[in-house]
A and B are shown apart, each in its own frame.
Chain A
Amino acid sequence: MKKINLILTLSTIVLFTLFLSYAQGNLDDYTLRIITLIPIYGIMAVSLNLINGITGIFSLGHAGFVLLGAYTSALLTLEPFQKELSYIIVPIQPWLLNLHSNFLVATLAGGVIASIFAFLIGWPTLKLSGDYLAIASLGFAEIARVLANNLISVTNGPLGLKGLPNYTNLYWSWGWLLVTLIAIISLVKSSYGRALIAIREDSIAAESMGINVFKHELMAFVFGAFFAGVSGALYAHWLTTIDPRITTFGPLLTFYVLIMVVLGGLGSITGSLIGAGVFALMFEYLRSLEEPFDLFGLHVPGIPGMRMLVISALFIFIMIFWQKGIMGRAEFSWEKFLKLFGIKVKKQSLAEIYLGKEGESK
């Protein structure tokens, strides 16, 4: 069965790569941008899910890590002359001016910086219990934003960074999603992952079973932050302009990611992916609400902000009536998927598959 799963997974990846290469050449720019955004949201959602859903530490600081990744990578990919041009208010720190690297290094650096900060912030705050941690991590995200706004010689302050090279394409974003998935799924399936789940279920019991709760939580936090930083780097080069406004990297972004995670099911990695996809598509689709439209001959003027209203109402609705989300805590598995099409693969039939009729005769 394991081998079949592997074959199925690999063939899906190959098929998907083929689809992506087809899409790259044939779809229009708008669609391409959405297809590129979905995995970026996916990385954010999966990494937040590792922290919130699987380990059960309620962190609201995701936007902070995304921001760190975005700024770090942006500072690395911008050409020195661009930096000189865009730092109008205060000139850039000289040591930052000549720092330059390719996109891969910049993305990794974004992740590393985010995880360093996760370590620094996690060390004091993970000793707190749930609610306080939520506020403290939200506070951290705000601090990061305030710093980005005020450390003008590093981040160019409220003006933000403009003209980032548009590196993030389909391959980068889906590729990084694949890396994220492999890393996080192997973490969750390892003994560390079991410990994380034990901590989520009952941290006191886990502690008494000899699990070092603090260390494990910190590890999950740093791990999640790394991928949040990576997604920030991808996001920055998708947007090509970043600034420290509330709407770009503020609590709103954390809220969006939280919606994706909750929509997909807290604790389910595949759920987070589905949530991210649904959210990205819905977010684009609901754009039509903010434009004027005609409903049964009645002219409805475009109302700015309507999209957020619908999304937050939907979110509250999900929390009250459908807390499990799309997947609950279940994960996607090929067995279940095949069952949908009436193909049953029993675990005992492993022998049949390998040995053909010999297995049956046994």
Chain B
Amino acid sequence: MFGGLYALLAVGYTMVYGILRLINFAHGDIMMMGVYFAFYASLMGSPLWLSIIIGVSGAAVLGFLIDRIAYKPLRNAPRISALITAIGMSFFLESIAVVLFGAVPKSFTAVFNENNKWIMDKTWNVLGARIPVMTFLIFFVTAIIFFILFWIVYKTKIGMAMRAISSDIPTTSLMGINVDMVIGFTFALGSAMAAAGGIMWAMRYPNVQPYMGFMPGLKAFIAAVLGGIGSIPGAVLGGFILGLLEIFLVALMPGAAGYRDAFAFIILIVILLIKPDGLLGKKSVVKV
């Protein structure tokens, strides 16, 4: 369950990092904004499916705009400037959420009206264990999203352009590809997936608050590093592995549950020491 969210977020990180070599610190916060969009859409009375579409597309537009406004002017600046800007953007989104939506956590259950409340309550019996329908639903939706993603990245023209840019930006622009558009599209795609993950997360753990994106965002980055940053299958794998490891930690050592957030970072450091390129990453060569 955590794994799915981490994987959905990690893909966004890995795509942006693969292309721009930029850790988009604001990624988790874009997810948070997407959840808020969906939340307010349903408060205004839109049905569940429409709220989800609003949330996801809102996040996509937001991701695109953030790239245009904050990151594009810094394409040729030192990488550290872009990184600092990304941190600033993360706090900007958090504080704008505090100002607009209030700092008090809100219950996401408002998205469920009488017609679709069954999704929340119903459970299925699987080999004697009662598993909420939601878990299955989330699993299937995640699978479908990944299917669409792989189709876009590996079978369409824009996916090809994305992969081309990630290996060499100047040459790609010489080939007549509008690099900025492709980067914008990458941001939008990553943000949409993050929002989809966030909305599912909020349905399962019905709580929205402005700082909800921060920790999942960092962990998703760790998942991306775990799988090999720049590699999309790696990000998916890394996300699920990190989620599973966390669940095992809590299940095996319930006393250590409070340390769950710290655990991910220990994994990060261990991975970077043992296999810095991640599980599915390409070897990076330092050119002098």
Query: In the complex where A139-B265, A304-B103, A308-B95 touch, is A150 in contact with B258 (Cβ < 8 A)?
Result: yes
Q: Chain A contacts of B266 at CB under 8 A? A: 143
Q: How far is the CA of A140 from the CA of B214 in the complex (A)?
A: 15
Q: In the complex, which of the residues A135, A311, A312 contacts B218, with contact meaning CB atoms closer than 8 Å? A: A135
* Chain A residues bordering chain B, tally (CB within 8 A): 44
Q: In the complex, which of the residues B80, B87, B95, B262 contacts A309, with contact meaning CB atoms closer than 8 Å? A: B95
Q: Chain B contacts of A252 at CB under 8 A? A: 91
Q: In the complex, which of the residues A134, A139, A251 contacts B269, with contact meaning CB atoms closer than 8 Å? A: A139
Query: In the complex where A58-B80, A262-B84, A319-B85 touch, is A308 in contact with B91 (Cβ < 8 A)?
Result: yes
- In the assembled complex, A108 has its CB within 8 A of some CB on chain B: no
Of the listed stretches B56-64, B70-78, B133-141, B234-242, chain A binds B70-78
Q: How far is the CB of A185 from chain B (nearest CB, A)?
A: 23
- In the assembled complex, B207 has its CB within 8 A of some CB on chain A: no
Of the listed stretches A4-12, A79-87, A121-129, chain B binds A121-129
Q: Chain A contacts of B261 at CB under 8 A? A: 142-143, 146
Q: How far is the CB of B250 from chain A (nearest CB, A)?
A: 14
Q: In the complex, which of the residues A124, A130, A311, A321 contacts B80, with contact meaning CB atoms closer than 8 Å? A: A130
Q: Chain A contacts of B98 at CB under 8 A? A: 304-305, 308-309
Q: How far is the CA of A192 from the CA of B221 in the complex (A)?
A: 34
Q: Chain A contacts of B103 at CB under 8 A? A: 304-305
- In the assembled complex, B175 has its CB within 8 A of some CB on chain A: no
- In the assembled complex, B288 has its CB within 8 A of some CB on chain A: yes
Q: Residue on B with the closest CB to A246?
A: B211
Taking a contact as CB atoms under 8 Å apart, the answer to whether B225 and A132 are in contact is yes
- In the assembled complex, A258 has its CB within 8 A of some CB on chain B: yes
Q: How far is the CB of A228 from chain B (nearest CB, A)?
A: 18
- In the assembled complex, A138 has its CB within 8 A of some CB on chain B: yes
Taking a contact as CB atoms under 8 Å apart, the answer to whether B262 and A142 are in contact is yes
Chain B's interface size range is 35 or more
Q: Chain A contacts of B276 at CB under 8 A? A: 128, 132
Taking a contact as CB atoms under 8 Å apart, the answer to whether A147 and B262 are in contact is yes
For A311, A312, A315, the residue with the greatest tally of chain B CB atoms inside 10 Å of its CB is A312
Q: How far is the CB of B33 from chain A (nearest CB, A)?
A: 14
Q: How far is the CA of A132 from the CA of B258 in the complex (A)?
A: 24
Q: Residue on B with the closest CB to A52?
A: B80
Q: How far is the CA of A139 from the CA of B264 in the complex (A)?
A: 8
Q: How far is the CA of A139 from the CA of B92 in the complex (A)?
A: 20
Q: Chain B contacts of A38 at CB under 8 A? A: none
- In the assembled complex, B259 has its CB within 8 A of some CB on chain A: yes
Q: How far is the CA of A266 from the CA of B80 in the complex (A)?
A: 11
Q: Chain A contacts of B81 at CB under 8 A? A: 319, 323
- In the assembled complex, A136 has its CB within 8 A of some CB on chain B: yes
Taking a contact as CB atoms under 8 Å apart, the answer to whether A140 and B265 are in contact is yes
Known: A258-B87, A305-B95. 18 other contacts (CB 8 A): A131-B83, A132-B272, A135-B222, A135-B225, A139-B269, A140-B265, A143-B262, A146-B259, A304-B99, A309-B96, A312-B92, A312-B95, A313-B92, A319-B84, A319-B85, A321-B73, A323-B77, A323-B81
Interface, chain B (partner A; CB < 8 A): 21, 23, 70, 73-74, 77, 79-81, 83-85, 87-89, 91-92, 94-96, 98-99, 103, 211, 214, 218, 221-222, 225, 258-259, 261-262, 264-266, 268-269, 272-273, 276, 286, 288
- 8 CB < 8 A contacts A-B: A132-B272, A139-B268, A146-B262, A204-B286, A246-B211, A303-B99, A312-B95, A320-B70
Interface, chain A (partner B; CB < 8 A): 58, 60, 124-125, 127-128, 130-132, 134-136, 138-140, 142-143, 146-147, 149-150, 204, 246, 251-252, 255, 258, 262, 266, 303-306, 308-309, 311-313, 315-316, 319-321, 323
Ranked nearest first, the 9 interchain pairs of A and B with the lowest CB-CB distance are A139-B265, A305-B98, A308-B95, A312-B92, A143-B262, A150-B258, A309-B95, A315-B88, A312-B91
